Structure 1
Amino acid sequence: MAGDFPDPSITKVGDTYWATATSSNWGPAFPLLKSTNLTDWDLVGHVFPNELPAWADYYFWAPEISQEGDKTYIYYTAHQKGGNLAVGVAVADSPAGPYRDLGPLVGQKDGSIDGFPMRDEKNELYLIWKEDGNSVNQPTPIWAQRLNEEHTALLGEKKELFRNTTPWEGNLVEGVSMIKHNGYFYAFYAGNGCCGHNCTYGVGVARAKSLLGPWEKYEKNPILTKSEKWACPGHGTVFNRGNRWYMLHHAYDTRSFEFVGRQGVISEFSWTAAGWPEFRQGGSVVTKAAPMVPRNLNDEFTSATLLPSWQWPVEERPTVAVRDGKLYVTARPQHSGAVLGQHTTTADYTATTTLLNPAKLPVGTVAGIAAHGDPENTLAFTAGSGKLQLWQLEKGKQKNLSEVKLPATAATAITLRLRAQQGNQFRFEWSIDGGKSWQNMPGVTGSINGSYLPPWDRGVRAGVLVKGPATATATFENFILENELVTAQGEGK
C-alpha cells in the first residue's frame, strides 16, 4: 500500500477487501481503499470526507474497520476538543460510506487510543484499547471493557489485559489486533518506538484462553522485526485467506524512511506446532516483496470535484473549486497559506504544475508548487507581486532562498517544477514554454535540504499553495506527479 498509510486496518466484505489508515493531521480524515487482490488498491473516499466529528479537532489516528452483519464500523482515535486523545466510533450501511459518527467511547486523562472490537468466548462485545501512558512517561496498559450492541457506550468495569513489561517493548505496547484461533485469543501488538529514522518498532504476540485473561506473552517475541528493505514494522490487522494467515501492518522503506512515511505492507505467517504465529523469513519483513508500481498522477482538473487523493491540513481546509479544466484556490494569509498536497510513494519524484495569470495575482499574494511537511514547515516555489520566489518555512519562520523578476512572457502562464531525490533533496525550476526548456533560480547551485519537513508521524506531500489575503484566488491548469521507483538498498541492485 504505497504511500503514507500508518496503522492500516483491513476487513473483507463479499469479494472485496477494504482498508483504512491513520491520516493524522491531513484531511480528509481516514482514507477508504479497496482491492480484490490485496495488491492493487484504489482510493475511493474517506470516512469523514467533509465535516469532522463534532467532538474532535485533530490527530486522526488508528482507524479499525470492522464488518458486523450488514453494518461497517470504524473505531478510531482523535484528539477531543478541550481534552485528550479518545476512541470514537462511526457506522455505515456500506464500507464505502457515508459514515455516521456515534461519538467518543472512552477518553482517559492520559489519553485513550487504538480501539479494537472483539467478542469474548460468550459472544459478548468488548472494546480493546491502549491507555496512552507513554505520553506522560508512564506504562501503557491494554484495557478491555464491555461495549453495548449499539456500539455507543461502554458497560461495567474495564479490565487490564497486559502492559509493557519486557525489555524489547521499551516504553509502550499498542496497536492490538485480536483473533481467535484453535481455542485461544491471540493479541498481536506493537512495541517500542514507532516513528522516524531512529525507530525501534516490532510486533509481539500474547495469547489467552479467555478474553479477559490471564494473558501469556510469547517467549520468542518480537515475532516481526526489520529487514534490509523494511524498517520498524508494526500496528496492523491480522486476517486470513482460507488456510493462509497474514498481517497488514506499516513499515518504512529503508530508502525513503519518514519522507514518504509508513507504508502498508502485508506479511505472511504460519502456526507452529505449539500454536504460536511464526512469520516467514525468520521473523523479519520479507525483503523481496511483490514488485511495486509507483503511483503517478496527472490531474487536468476535468472532474466535477476534487480527486479524493488531494489532502490538506486538517484544521485549515482550503476553499477550492474545480471547473472547466482548472483548479481555483482561495488564498489564506497564515502559515504556508492555502495548501493542497498529494501522497508521495517513492524517495525520488517530480511534481509539475502550471499557474495561470501569475501577473494578475493581487498584491501580497503568491501561488505555486511546494513540498509540504505541515502548516509551519514548507519548501515552496511561487510567483506573485511581480517576482518568482524560492522560500522555506521552518518552524513557522520564513526565509527567502532566491528570487527573480517575473518575466513579461510569463504573464499569462508559468510552469513550475519540483524534483526530489532521496526523499529530502529538492530542486526547483521554471518554464515559460510549457516545459520544453527549464530555468534555474539564481544563486541556487545544488539541492535544497528538506530534512526538516516531515513531522514525527507523517510523510512529505507534494502539491500547491496560495498565500495571501482571503479575497485572492489563484488558478492552476494541471498538477502532475511522477514517482520514480529506485530499487531499495535491501535488494542489492
Structure 2
Amino acid sequence: MPGDFPDPSVTKIGDTYWATATSSNWGPIFPLLKSKNLTDWELVGHVFPNQPPDWADYYFWAPEISEENGKTYVFYTAHKKNGPLSVGVASADNPAGPYRDHGPLVGQEDGSIDAFPIRDENNQLYIVWKEDGNSQNRPTPIWAQRINDDRTALTGEKTELFRNTIPWEGNLVEGASIVRHGDYFYAFYAGNGCCGHNCTYGIGVARSRKLLGPWEKYEKNPILTKNGSWTCPGHGTVTQRDNRWFLLHHAYDTRSFEFVGRQGVLSEFVWTPAGWPEFPQGANAAPAFNVASQNVSDDFKGTNLVASWQWPIEQKPTFTVRDGKLLLSARPDHSGAALGHHTYTTDYTATTTLLQPAALPTGTVAGIAALGDPDNTIALTAGDGKLRLWQLEKGKQQALGEVALPNSKALMLRLQAQGGNQYRFSWSADAGKTWQNLPANGQAINGTYLPPWDRGVRAGLLARGPATATATFDDFTLNNQ
C-alpha cells in the first residue's frame, strides 16, 4: 500500500479484501480500499468523505474494519471536542459506504485508542483497546469489555489483558489485533516508539486460551523488527489467503522514512510446532514496486475531485471542479487553502498549470507546494505582480526568492523533490518548453522540518488570500523517479 497509510486494517468480505488506515489530520477521513489479492489496492472512497463526525475534531487514527451478518463496522480513534482521545464506531450496509456514525464508546482520562472487536470463546462480543497512558508517562493497559451486538454501547466491566512490562516494549504496547487459531487467542501488538526518524517500533505476540486471560507473551518477542528495506513495523491486522497467513501492517521504507510516511506492508508468517507465529527471514523485504504505477495525472475532468486528493481536516478548502478546471477558493490563514496528494518515493516531480495568474485579486497568491501541515509548507506562488518562493515553518513565514510575474495567460509551476526532503522549484511561461529556476541558481530548499510526527509530506496546490478570491488550475501531475 504505497503512500502514507499507517495502522492499516483489513477484512475479507465475500471474495474481496477491504482495508482502511489512519488519516490523522488529513481529510477525507479513513480511506476505503479494496483488493482481490491483498497486493493490488484500489481507493474507492472514505468512511467520512465530507466532514468529521459531530463529536470529534482531529487525530483520526487506527480504524479497524470488520463485517458480520451483512453489516460492515469501523471502530476508530478520534480526539473528542474538549475531551480526550476516544474510540468511536460507524457502520454501513455496504463496505463502500455510506457510513453512519454512532458516536464515542469509551474515552478514558488518559485517552482510549486502537479498538479491535473480537468474540470470546463463548461467542460473546468484546472490544479490545489501549489506554493511552504513555501520553501521561504511565503504563498502557490493553483492556477488553463487552459490547452490545449493535456495537453502540459497552456493557459490564472492563478487564485488563496485559500491559507494557518487557524492556523491548519501551513505554507502550498498542494496536492489538486478535485472531483465534487452534486452542488459543493470539494478540499481535506493537511496542515502543511508533514514529519519526528515530522510531523503535516492533511487533510482539501474546496468547491465551480465553479472551480475558491469563495472557502469555512470547519469549522470542519481538517477532518482527526492522530489516534493510523496512523499519519500525507495527500496528496491523491478521488476514489469510489461500491457507497462508499474513499481517498487513505499516512500516517506513528505509529510503524515505517520514517524508513518504508509514506505508502498508504485507508480511507472511507461519505457525511453529509450539504454536507461535514466526516471520521467516526477509518476510518484509522490499516489494517489487513499480514507481511509475503510482504516477498521478489529473486534468480535472468530470464534476468531482478524484478520491485521492486530501486536505487539512480542520481547514477544509472550498473548491469546484468544472469544465476541466479546478477552482480553489482562497483562505487567509495558515498557508491558505490547500489540496494535497500522497507522495510515494523520495524523488518525484509535481507540476501544475495556473490559469490567469495576473488576474488574481490583490492580496491573493496561488501555486504549487510541498505540504507538511497548515503551518509547515514550502510554496511557489503567483500573485500581486510577483512569482514568490516562500516557506512557512511553525507558522512563521520566510521569503526565499521572487521575480516579476511574466505576462502569460497560463503559468506552469514545478516542484522537484530529491532524497525526500530537498525541494527545487521552477516555472515556465511557454507551456514547459523552457524552465526558469527560483531562486535563479536552482538551490534546493531543505524541507526536513515539514512532516509532522505522524504524517508524510504531500505535494499539492494552495491559494492564500481573501475567501472571495478563487484560483484556477488546469492540471496536476506527479511523476515518481
Q: Is the 8 A contact 2:269 2:283 kept in 1?
A: no
| Cα shift at 1:455 | 0.1
Other-structure match for 1:450: 447
1:352 aligns with 2:341: no
| Cα shift at 1:291 | 3.2
Q: Deviations along 1:316-346, whole A, 9 cap, x unmatched?
A: 1100000000000000000000000000011
Other-structure match for 1:291: 289
Kindly provide the amino acid, as one letter, of the partner of residue 453 in structure 1: L
Once residues 67 and 369 of structure 2 are traced to their aligned partners in structure 1, the CA distance between those partners, rounded to angstroms, is: 39
1:246 aligns with 2:246: yes
1:86 aligns with 2:86: yes
Other-structure match for 2:333: 334
1:482 aligns with 2:479: yes
Return the match for 2:424 from 424, 427, 434.
427
Where does the alignment leave 5 or more consecutive residues of structure 1 unmatched? 485-493
Kindly provide the amino acid, as one letter, of the partner of residue 423 in structure 2: F
Q: Is the 8 A contact 1:110 1:133 kept in 2?
A: yes
Q: Deviations along 1:279-319, whole A, 9 cap, x unmatched?
A: 011xx653243434441111000021000000000011100
Kindly provide the amino acid, as one letter, of the partner of residue 471 in structure 1: T
Once residues 266 and 213 of structure 1 are traced to their aligned partners in structure 2, the CA distance between those partners, rounded to angstroms, is: 29
Runs of at least 4 residues of structure 1 off by over 3 A?
Answer: 290-294, 442-445
Q: Is the 8 A contact 1:5 1:264 kept in 2?
A: yes
- Percentage of pairs with the same residue: 73
Kindly provide the amino acid, as one letter, of the partner of residue 68 in structure 1: E
Instruction: Please say which of residues 254-263 and 36-45 is displaced more in the overlay.
Output: 36-45
Matched position secondary structure for 1:168: helix
| Cα shift at 1:442 | 3.9
Give the TM-score normalised by the residue count of structure 2.
0.99
Where does the alignment leave 5 or more consecutive residues of structure 2 unmatched? none
Once residues 360 and 370 of structure 1 are traced to their aligned partners in structure 2, the CA distance between those partners, rounded to angstroms, is: 20
Q: Is the 8 A contact 1:230 1:287 kept in 2?
A: yes
Instruction: Please say which of residues 115-124 and 287-296 is displaced more in the overlay.
Output: 287-296
Q: Deviations along 1:90-116, whole A, 9 cap, x unmatched?
A: 000011000000111100000000000
Q: Deviations along 1:183-220, whole A, 9 cap, x unmatched?
A: 10000000000001100000000000000000000000
Q: Is the 8 A contact 1:374 1:453 kept in 2?
A: yes
Q: Is the 8 A contact 1:233 1:285 kept in 2?
A: no
Q: Is the 8 A contact 2:84 2:110 kept in 1?
A: yes
Once residues 213 and 161 of structure 1 are traced to their aligned partners in structure 2, the CA distance between those partners, rounded to angstroms, is: 6
Return the match for 1:440 from 415, 437, 440.
437
Kindly provide the amino acid, as one letter, of the partner of residue 203 in structure 1: I
Give the TM-score normalised by the residue count of structure 1.
0.96
Instruction: Please say which of residues 222-231 and 290-299 is displaced more in the overlay.
Output: 290-299
Once residues 79 and 293 of structure 1 are traced to their aligned partners in structure 2, the CA distance between those partners, rounded to angstroms, is: 35
Q: Deviations along 1:17-74, whole A, 9 cap, x unmatched?
A: 1100000000000000111121211111000001211100000000000011100000
Once residues 180 and 428 of structure 2 are traced to their aligned partners in structure 1, the CA distance between those partners, rounded to angstroms, is: 59
Other-structure match for 1:463: 460
Q: Is the 8 A contact 2:424 2:442 kept in 1?
A: no
Within 5 Å, give how 1:86-485 maps onto structure 2.
86-281=86-281, 285-294=283-292, 295-408=294-407, 410=408, 412-484=409-481
Q: Is the 8 A contact 1:262 1:459 kept in 2?
A: yes
Q: Deviations along 1:238-266, whole A, 9 cap, x unmatched?
A: 01124210000000000000000000000
Once residues 57 and 173 of structure 2 are traced to their aligned partners in structure 1, the CA distance between those partners, rounded to angstroms, is: 25
Q: Deviations along 1:411-459, whole A, 9 cap, x unmatched?
A: x110000000110000000001111110112454421100000000000
Matched position secondary structure for 1:160: strand
Once residues 435 and 197 of structure 1 are traced to their aligned partners in structure 2, the CA distance between those partners, rounded to angstroms, is: 36
Kindly provide the amino acid, as one letter, of the partner of residue 319 in structure 1: T
Matched position secondary structure for 2:452: coil
Once residues 288 and 466 of structure 1 are traced to their aligned partners in structure 2, the CA distance between those partners, rounded to angstroms, is: 38
Q: Is the 8 A contact 1:352 1:369 kept in 2?
A: yes
Q: Is the 8 A contact 1:188 1:203 kept in 2?
A: yes
Task: Flag the 1:136–1:451 CA change in 2: closer, same or farther, 3 A.
Answer: same
Once residues 125 and 50 of structure 1 are traced to their aligned partners in structure 2, the CA distance between those partners, rounded to angstroms, is: 31
Task: Flag the 1:306–1:288 CA change in 2: closer, same or farther, 3 A.
Answer: closer
Q: Is the 8 A contact 1:226 1:285 kept in 2?
A: no
Kindly provide the amino acid, as one letter, of the partner of residue 291 in structure 1: F
Matched position secondary structure for 1:94: coil
Matched position secondary structure for 1:382: strand
